[in-house]
Amino acid sequence: MKTFHCNRCSHLVFYENVRCERCEALLGYVPELAEISAFEDAGEGRWRSLHPGARGALFRQCHNYAVENVCNWMIPADSPDTLCRACQLTRTIPNLGAPENRLYWYRLEMAKRRLLYTLAELGLDVKSREADPERGLAFEFLEDSDDGSRVMTGHDNGLITLNIAEADDAYREKVRTSMGEPYRTLLGHFRHETGHYYFSQLVENNPRWIEPYRKLFGDERADYGEALTAYYRDGAPAEWQASYISAYATMHPWEDWAETWAHYMLIVDVLDTATSYGVALLPDDPSEPTLTDRTPVEDASFDNLMKRWFPLTYALNSLNRSLGMPDGYPFTLAAPVVGKLRFVHRVIVEAGDKSQPREAATPPAKATPASAPRRAARAGAGRTAAARPVAQAVVQTVVPRAPLPSANPATSPPGTEPVAQAVVSQGADQAVASADSTQASAMQAAALAEPPMQSEDAAAKEARPKRTARRR
């Protein structure tokens, strides 16, 4: 995620912001520009953008911004839409009769907008169900019902369902520990499920990719139900870290793809953020992990991304441990996993290239897209109220401990597959042996922001997919 600045006072502002902290200008995201803009009131619900790329164009706030306080995206003033592109993708919102559901909804939408930002950055098309009923994307935010029926988070032919309980930190942490996962976040759910979606869009029926995919990930025609049963009966193979990004990835080739996809998105987003802030690592001993390269992630080769990734995770985890937080990056990337990530990179690069030039989805009146226009999420879909209160399980958090990374990539011979030796972490309570360390984690980027509904939610943690996958 790049950095943004207030167009009125130049103050640093963030993707989730709605007001400039310094000059109090209204802020909003303009997807056509891929920019946060400051606005001045033009009356009658219209706002004039102060962003140079918009050239004084008028906008309106998304209904979910102006009224519901769960969005900060803007719509061209002459658009017939009431919802922004991001909100249009949500087909079912939580039942707002339950007080906590509004906060959960806010968190879900925030994670979804972050997902959309990275997808746009990668040049991936996001079509709504309304624009493309066959192949479009839609989200449903549902909750368990009192009669005991459970909402399964998953993807089904472009429809992504999220159980809103995942937006309840206590619940999510309880599930994370019970599942033995080192990592479980809302954003990770979105990334994982869209991985399933893009598999069907880009790989499944693509003769160029399907066989190479099967060589790396396995044959996705294997019976999913059987694989699921076996996984929950037997667990992951003992040596799964040697070939998989997560235990869950061992379940079925579809899940391996979705996990790897989610991880690729995590890497790109974190590196993008670090690059935008000018993060550099310049240790006194140059043989230690060093980071000075600032190639924009969208222009970076896969090897370049990997080369920068290890030093960053090393520093990230160390910083988090100093904060007394769990590791922000509790993963190990073995060579086969890096190979799978490389494959995801190739698929995405080709998909992005194919769409060149990217359509500048409905540029705002008089506005000129600032840079490479992003693909639009010309979406559509009504909203319906759903469900009921979320079970508020309050559970203790058990944080797995993990060793600090040990290998030094600087010593890797050139040309070898760079392996990010970040922290290993296993199942929840199985503290990983070795180099005892403190815990660490929580991406802080969003913690700097001030969401409309505030605070506790700030930490935008990273990827961690779900369990209850339902494919097709």
Binding map of Zn ion across residues 241-280, x = CB under 5 A, - = no contact:
--------------x--x----------------------
Residue 29 vs 343, nearer CB to Zn ion: 29
Q: Kindly state the smallest distance separating residue 39's Cβ from Zn ion, in Å.
A: 11
Q: 86 to 105, contacts with Zn ion by CB under 5 A?
A: 87
Does position 404 bind Zn ion by CB under 5 A?
A: no
Closest separation in Å from C-beta 85 to Zn ion: 8
How far is C-alpha 220 from the chain's CA centre? 24
Q: Which is nearer to Zn ion, 64 or 426 (CB)?
A: 64
Using CB under 5 A, pick the residue from 61, 64, 95, 153 that binds Zn ion. 64
**Choice from 18, 20, 351, 440 touching Zn ion (CB under 5 A):** 20
Q: How far is the CB of 10 from Zn ion (least distance, A)?
A: 7
Give the Cβ contact number of residue 208 at 10 Å: 12
Calpha distance 209→203 (Å, rounded): 5
Per the structure block, which two tokens stand in for 205?
Answer: 């029926």
The three-point CA angle 39-41-43 to 5° equals 145
Under rule CB under 5 A, residue 469 binds Zn ion = yes
Q: Which is nearer to Zn ion, 6 or 164 (CB)?
A: 6
Report the residue from 30, 34, 36, 84 that binds Zn ion according to the rule CB under 5 A.
84
The residue among 33 and 316 lying less far from Zn ion, judged by its C-beta, is 33
H, E, C per residue of 40-77: EEEECCEEEECCHHHCCCEEEECHHHHCCCCCCEEEEC
Residues 433-460 as b/e (b if ≥16 CB within 10 A, e otherwise) read eeeebbbbbbbbbbeebbbbbeeebbbb
Burial class (CB in 10 A: 0-12, 13-18, 19+), 79: middle
Nearer to Zn ion (CB atom), residue 75 or residue 404:
75
Of 6 and 245, the one with the shorter C-beta distance to Zn ion is 6
Using CB under 5 A, pick the residue from 5, 9, 206, 452 that binds Zn ion: 9
Shortest spacing between CB 165 and Zn ion, in angstroms: 17
CB of 248 to Zn ion, least distance (A): 8
Nearer to Zn ion, 39 or 314 (CB): 39
Q: Which is nearer to Zn ion, 25 or 126 (CB)?
A: 25
Region binding Zn ion by CB under 5 A among candidate stretches 16-24, 206-214, 229-237, 305-313: 16-24
Q: Does 11 bind Zn ion (CB under 5 A)?
A: yes
Span of 7-15, 144-152, 343-351, 358-366 interacting with Zn ion by CB under 5 A: 7-15
CA dihedral sign, ordered 241, 428, 168, 312: negative
Min CB(168)–Zn ion separation in Å: 21
Pairing of strands 46-49, 58-61: antiparallel
Q: Does 62 bind Zn ion (CB under 5 A)?
A: yes
Q: Which is nearer to Zn ion, 166 or 255 (CB)?
A: 255
**Closest of 118, 11, 116, 18 to residue 378, by C-alpha:** 116
Count of chain residues binding Zn ion (CB under 5 A) = 17
210 sits near Zn ion (criterion: CB under 5 A): no
From the list 56-64, 89-97, 205-213, 449-457, the region that binds Zn ion by CB under 5 A is 56-64
Tell me if 456 sits within 8 A of 208, measured CB to CB: no
Q: Does 402 bind Zn ion (CB under 5 A)?
A: no
23 binds Zn ion (CB under 5 A): yes
Instruction: Please report whether residue 470 would count as binding Zn ion according to CB under 5 A.
Output: no
Q: Does 71 bind Zn ion (CB under 5 A)?
A: yes
Q: Closer CB to Zn ion, residue 335 or residue 385?
A: 385
59 binds Zn ion (CB under 5 A): no
**116 lies in the binding site for Zn ion (CB under 5 A):** no
Amino acid at 364: P
Q: Which stretch binds Zn ion (CB under 5 A): 22-30, 119-127, 349-357, 397-405?
A: 22-30
List residues binding Zn ion (CB under 5 A).
Answer: 6, 8-9, 11, 20, 22-23, 25, 62, 64, 71, 73, 84, 87, 255, 258, 469
